[in-house]
Amino acid sequence: MLTGELQSQNLPYLHLSDKVSQALQLMNDNHVTHLPVVEGEKFVGMLSEDDLLQAENDHDELRTLQQSFGNTSVKSTEHFLKAIQVAAENSLSVVPVVDADNDIAGAVAYSDLLKHASEFMSLNEPGGLIVLEVESNQYSFNEISKLVETNDAQITQLNTSNDPDTGMMQVTIRINKAEVSDIVATFQRYEYNVKYYFGEELYVNELKNNYDNLMNYLKI
């Protein structure tokens, strides 16, 4: 999904002639701490609540704060994951979307971006999660996929991250089965380091452990 296709709440834009007090009220009404500033259709910059609170007078126009404007935005033709990256790196509650001419095309709240990310990663669908740690030069998607499929399951999502200091790669796998203990056992049999796993049987295992601990306590 491209950022220009995102369906989000109708966030207002600020204008250079708006007063500081008006901008603060708009942020409060929309539960955000950033809003884009426009002049006509052109994106001028971003203002934060912190910038507004440092203004000397609530009745000042926003044009007096132009030195504080941020210029962070994403293009409407970029993937929406780019908007999440920009929001996270710049601690933004709202990300402005612009076209090739730097005209404002929209604005999306970070909270809505996270909802889209959840749908993108199928987090609302039933299934399990397994996190492996492997050496970067030993990583093989084909082997990992084959080991999952031998347990009558499929990978629905896979993400990797590298630690340059250790040379280790963390592989996070979403599985279309909630019962993942057999898959975990398969990985361990093939000497994979399973860091975490989450599935239906995890809750059952925790109940059993609690029960066993209680029985051992009562025997004392």
Enumerate the domain spans of the chain. Answer: 3-118, 128-215
Sheet of strand 42-48, all strands in order from the earlier edge strand to the far edge: 14-15, 34-39, 42-48
Distances (CA, A) of 69 to 82, 139, 158: 21, 44, 38
Tokens of 125: 């669908």
Give mean pLDDT in consecutive 10-residue pieces for the chain, a chain of 220 residues. Answer: 77 96 96 96 96 94 94 93 92 95 94 83 76 91 96 91 86 90 93 86 49 58
Q: Which residues pair with 98 in a beta bridge?
A: 75, 104
Domain 3-118 has CATH 1.10.10.10: no
Please report where in the chains the tokens 């926003």 appear, as a residue: 62
Length of the chain: 220
> What backbone torsions phi and psi does residue 202 show, to the nearest 5 degrees?
-60, -40
Helix (H) or strand (E) holding 111: helix 110-120
CATH architecture of the domain covering 128-215: 2-Layer Sandwich (3.30)
